[in-house]
Chains A and B, each alone.
Chain A
Amino acid sequence: MKSKTMAIAALALAMAGAGVLQAREQGKELWLHINVHEGTGGRVNVNLPISVVEKAAALIPDDARHSGRLRLDHHDMSAAELRDLWRAVKDGPDATYVTVDERDGKVRVAKSGGYLLIRADDPAPRRSQVDVRMPVAVVEALLAGSGDDLDVGAAVAALARQGEGELVTVNDDKDTVRIWVDAAAESR
Chain B
Amino acid sequence: MKPRSRIFAIFAGALAVLVLGSGLLLAATGVATVRVHEKQGDGVRLYVPVPALLLHAGIAVVPLAMPARDRARMRAEIGDRGPALAALLAELERCPDAVLVDVQEHGESVQVVKEGRTLAVHVRNTDTDVDVSLPAGVLTHLIQAFTA
Q: Which B87-109 residues have a C-beta within 8 angstroms of A?
A: 87-88, 91-92, 94-106
**Contact between B98 and A59, CB atoms less than 8 A apart:** no
Stretch from A49-57, A83-91, A163-171 contacting the other chain: A49-57
**Contact between B91 and A49, CB atoms less than 8 A apart:** yes
**Contact between A185 and B96, CB atoms less than 8 A apart:** yes
**Contact between B84 and A47, CB atoms less than 8 A apart:** no
**Are A49 and B95 CB-contacts (below 8 A) given A55-B84, A55-B88, A58-B87?**
yes
Contact-residue size bin, chain A (C-beta under 8 Å from the other chain): 20 to 34
Q: Nearest residue in A to B86 (C-beta to C-beta)?
A: A55
Stretch from A37-45, A70-78, A112-120 contacting the other chain: A37-45
Q: Which A1-57 residues have a C-beta within 8 angstroms of B?
A: 29, 31, 38, 40-49, 51-52, 54-56
A186 interface hit (Cβ, 8 Å): yes
Q: State how many angstroms separate the Cβ of B42 from the closest Cβ of chain A.
A: 31
Q: How many residues of B contact A (CB 8 A)?
A: 20
Q: State how many angstroms separate the Cβ of A130 from the closest Cβ of chain B.
A: 23
Residues of A within 8 A of B101 (CB): 44-47
Residues of B within 8 A of A48 (CB): 100
Q: Nearest residue in A to B85 (C-beta to C-beta)?
A: A59
**Contact between B106 and A29, CB atoms less than 8 A apart:** no
Residues of A within 8 A of B81 (CB): 58-59
**Are A41 and B88 CB-contacts (below 8 A) given A29-B96, A49-B96, A186-B99?**
no
**Contact between B97 and A51, CB atoms less than 8 A apart:** no
**Contact between A185 and B103, CB atoms less than 8 A apart:** no
In the assembled complex, 19 residue pairs joining A and B whose CB atoms fall closer than 8 Å, in A order, are A41-B105, A41-B106, A42-B103, A43-B105, A44-B101, A44-B102, A44-B104, A46-B100, A46-B102, A47-B101, A51-B95, A55-B87, A55-B91, A56-B88, A58-B81, A58-B84, A58-B87, A59-B84, A59-B85
**Contact between A185 and B84, CB atoms less than 8 A apart:** no
Q: Nearest residue in B to A58 (C-beta to C-beta)?
A: B84
CA distance A81 to B143 in the complex (A): 38
Q: State how many angstroms separate the Cβ of B40 from the closest Cβ of chain A.
A: 25
Q: Which of A29, A47, A51, A55 contacts B100 (CB 8 A)?
A: A47
Beyond A29-B96, A52-B95, A185-B96: 7 further Cβ-contacts under 8 Å? A41-B105, A43-B103, A45-B103, A46-B101, A47-B100, A49-B95, A58-B88
Q: Nearest residue in A to B94 (C-beta to C-beta)?
A: A51
CA distance A48 to B101 in the complex (A): 8
Residues of A within 8 A of B98 (CB): 31, 47, 49, 185-186
Q: Nearest residue in A to B109 (C-beta to C-beta)?
A: A43
Residues of B within 8 A of A58 (CB): 81, 84, 87-88
Residues of A within 8 A of B94 (CB): 51
**Contact between A42 and B105, CB atoms less than 8 A apart:** yes
Q: State how many angstroms separate the Cβ of B88 from the closest Cβ of chain A.
A: 4
CA distance A74 to B87 in the complex (A): 37
**Contact between B99 and A45, CB atoms less than 8 A apart:** yes
CA distance A44 to B99 in the complex (A): 12
Q: Which of A43, A54, A59, A185 contacts B104 (CB 8 A)?
A: A43
